[in-house]
Structure 1
Amino acid sequence: MRSNEHKFQIINLLQETRTIRVILKKLFSLFLLLALAAGAGFVYWATQPISGSAHEFTIKPGSSLRSSSQQIANAGVPIQPILFEVLARLNKQINSQDSTFKAGAFEAEAGITPLALLSKIVRGEFSQFSFALIEGWTFKQMRLAISQNPFLQHDTVEFSDAEILAKLNSEYDQPEGLFFPDTYLFPKGVSDMDVYKRAYSQLQQHLYTAWQQRDVAATPLKTPYEALILASIVEKETGMKSDRNMIAGVFVNRLRKGMLLQTDPTVIYGMGDQYQGKIRKRDLLQDTPYNTYTRTGLPPTPIALVGMESLMAALNPAHTDALYFVARGDGSSQFSSNLDDHNRAVNQFVR
């Protein structure tokens, strides 16, 4: 009797074990399905475009993945911060990539996916802003424009010109003309000193290149700095590309003969804030280091930012016997080799 009861107990235990196994298998299958569904949903979320318009956001230095993800969401980017943090950690595990978020300003463009946004942040693809330095600007105008740019960090506002040059390790004691006019891209919040450094470096490179390509026989200029001074005068005298070499040729001929350059832009530069849009006779007679009506040779420094075309013109002047030129009024100039022809041109185009 007891033997039969024992058999029944064993049979019941086996049935219960089978039932538990069936239940566990079903639970495991359900869990696996849920995990696969969750994984598929996560992948779908990570690869689908983020809805809404473009948003700018900034990640603060030293932020953790969690804090960075929250900063992105707080800026209005429609992401789930926790999911974005998980995506960053998975990216590190799967691709063996550094998941550290770079600190700086970014833009989440309309239609970007969370995965693409993550890649952008990890690589440090910061939002780029542009700043243009214009040919013919003075250093004073350049400094003002830099100080008014809202996307730069203004570290040099209280610096003197000499302090800026010291930061650049420059050999020159005056900053005029030492920066190359161009459009510079930079991430939001970068120091304004970065723009000065890049523009200064570019000018040095372009000046070296132009000096190496100079027409030695055609120019009496002795140093690259003299070339920069003459190029700045050419820059201010004309905006017409076809006239630059001829104007440089006139000034070179005058330098060779020891004649006064007699160029108004240098007088205007020497007048500084006293210039009110018109040069009077007394201004031409008022001696300053930049008055080329009273002093022979080149002025002591450049008078403006110089573009590459003016720089090349100064070092490759036209082979001409012209000693004079006058503006025609249409942007071009009339050139003359003697004073009588020049006076007739002045009467025709000016008086």
Structure 2
Amino acid sequence: MRTWLTLLATASVVAAGAGAWGWNHYVAGTWTSSTVVVQVAPDLDVPWRLDALEEAWAGTPGERVLHHVVWRGWDGRLKAGQYTFHPEESVQTSAERLVTGDRDAVDVVVPSGRDVGPIAGAVSRRVFADSAQVAKWFSRDSVMWRVLPNTYEMWWDTDAEGVTSRLLREHRAWWNDDRVAAAAAQGLTPREATVLASIVQAETAVIAEAPLVAGLYLNRLKKGMLLQADPTLIFALGDPSIQRVLDVHKDVDSPYNTYKHKGLPPGPIRFVDPRYLQSVLHPAVHRDLYMCAKPGGDGTHDFARTYREHLRNARAYQTWLNKQRIFR
């Protein structure tokens, strides 16, 4: 009789131990000793998301999380997104996060630049958005001028349309009443201010000079003068390698040729850094009408009120270009 009681007690202890082990292993215990990042693609149908995770976590402690998901009957509820799991998380907590969508936000850097391809590529590397689709959205005339380069927090599972919608909301928020009024004070709409800012940014990489350049172009616009902005010619020619604008370049047949067409071109010539927009909204007040790059290649410019003074500056710069053997 004692033997049976001993065996029964032993079996109970073993069962309790197994139950405790199972509870700790598949529910309450931690499962990773290091941070784990996993991405659940939104283009997978929900039933296939578990399969994708099983493949990614095969032979790793992550299988315990998936066992918990299946045990709870949650395998049809996995949410898309990027998840970061930490060492202190229990199996149950991690499983619950997968089915409630407690996912990560990521920082998406939308860079400033001339060409849409590299910008779309930079965006698509941070979220689940195809770069070709991002480029397609960003290239739309109604969208391009509204894209403000900056760093934005988004969900990893955001697609190209979602990225565009987010940036359009940010654009509407940026153009508050004060900024719209500041543009109007310069005789510009928000779109026109963006177009001018794109020229200013293309003219100077020295942000401290931007208000001076903006003021110069505004002076020319108010006098009804041609802008004669070299970056618009380079844009029209589609050749960013041009370092020296020649007379032959000024004959290009394009609405972006500001040597032929008065006023602003029909659209921006690059995606505009908001700091350059601010330079258009708050330009330096002066009477200069001409500018020319300074010899030395440091990116700064000489400004002039008269054409005679400008010719003197231009000759000095052309002499420097010749010495550098820069002929185009």
Q: TM-score, normalised by structure 2?
A: 0.75
The residue aligned with 2:111 is 134
Root-mean-square deviation (CA, aligned residues, Å) is 4.1
The match for 1:234 among 179, 197, 200 is 200
The alpha-carbon deviation at position 99 of structure 1 amounts to: 9.0
The residue aligned with 1:122 is 99
* Unpaired segments ≥5 residues, structure 1: 1-18, 93-97, 166-172
The residue aligned with 1:152 is 128
Q: Is the 8 A contact 1:133 1:183 kept in 2?
A: yes
Q: Is the 8 A contact 1:139 1:175 kept in 2?
A: no
The residue aligned with 1:61 is 45
1:272 aligns with 2:248: no
Q: 1:73 to 1:29 in 2, by over 3 A?
A: same
The match for 1:102 among 70, 78, 103 is 78
1:244 aligns with 2:244: no
Q: 1:213 to 1:125 in 2, by over 3 A?
A: farther
The alpha-carbon deviation at position 202 of structure 1 amounts to: 2.2
* Unpaired segments ≥5 residues, structure 2: 320-328
SS in 2 for 1:63: helix
Q: Is the 8 A contact 2:180 2:190 kept in 1?
A: no
Which protein shows a greater Rg?
A: 1
The residue aligned with 1:48 is 30
**Count of residues in Structure 1 that have an aligned counterpart in Structure 2:** 311
The residue aligned with 1:205 is 173
Q: 1:53 to 1:271 in 2, by over 3 A?
A: same
CA distance in 1, matches of 2:52, 2:235: 50
For residue 99 of structure 2, what is the amino acid of its counterpart? V
SS in 1 for 2:145: coil
CA distance in 2, matches of 1:307, 1:128: 23
The residue aligned with 1:34 is 15
The residue aligned with 2:322 is none
The alpha-carbon deviation at position 123 of structure 1 amounts to: 3.6
Q: Is the 8 A contact 1:106 1:121 kept in 2?
A: no
1:305 aligns with 2:271: yes
The residue aligned with 2:324 is none
The alpha-carbon deviation at position 247 of structure 1 amounts to: 0.7
The alpha-carbon deviation at position 258 of structure 1 amounts to: 1.1
The match for 2:287 among 307, 312, 321 is 321
The residue aligned with 2:303 is 335
The alpha-carbon deviation at position 251 of structure 1 amounts to: 0.6
Partner deviation per Cα, 1:150-209 (whole Å, 9 max, x = no partner): 9634396599679x85xxxxxxx5544231212445555642222222223323332346
SS in 1 for 2:97: helix
The alpha-carbon deviation at position 54 of structure 1 amounts to: 4.0
Identity %: 23
Q: 1:309 to 1:146 in 2, by over 3 A?
A: closer
The alpha-carbon deviation at position 25 of structure 1 amounts to: 10
Q: 1:83 to 1:142 in 2, by over 3 A?
A: closer
For residue 104 of structure 1, what is the amino acid of its counterpart? A
CA distance in 2, matches of 1:137, 1:125: 37
1:196 aligns with 2:164: yes
Q: Is the 8 A contact 1:253 1:321 kept in 2?
A: yes
The worse-fitting range, judged by mean Cα deviation, of 46-55 and 192-201 is 46-55
Q: 1:119 to 1:347 in 2, by over 3 A?
A: farther
Partner deviation per Cα, 1:281-305 (whole Å, 9 max, x = no partner): 1111334211111121111112111
Q: Is the 8 A contact 2:79 2:99 kept in 1?
A: no
The worse-fitting range, judged by mean Cα deviation, of 337-346 and 54-63 is 54-63
CA distance in 2, matches of 1:337, 1:34: 94
The residue aligned with 1:12 is none
Q: 1:270 to 1:187 in 2, by over 3 A?
A: same
SS in 1 for 2:238: helix
Q: Is the 8 A contact 1:73 1:79 kept in 2?
A: no
CA distance in 2, matches of 1:310, 1:83: 49
CA distance in 1, matches of 2:148, 2:304: 32
CA distance in 2, matches of 1:32, 1:87: 28
The alpha-carbon deviation at position 108 of structure 1 amounts to: 5.6
The match for 1:293 among 236, 241, 259 is 259
Partner deviation per Cα, 1:101-149 (whole Å, 9 max, x = no partner): 4332545657464344324313424466655332233446545x37975
1:74 aligns with 2:50: no
The worse-fitting range, judged by mean Cα deviation, of 255-264 and 124-133 is 124-133
CA distance in 2, matches of 1:262, 1:242: 22
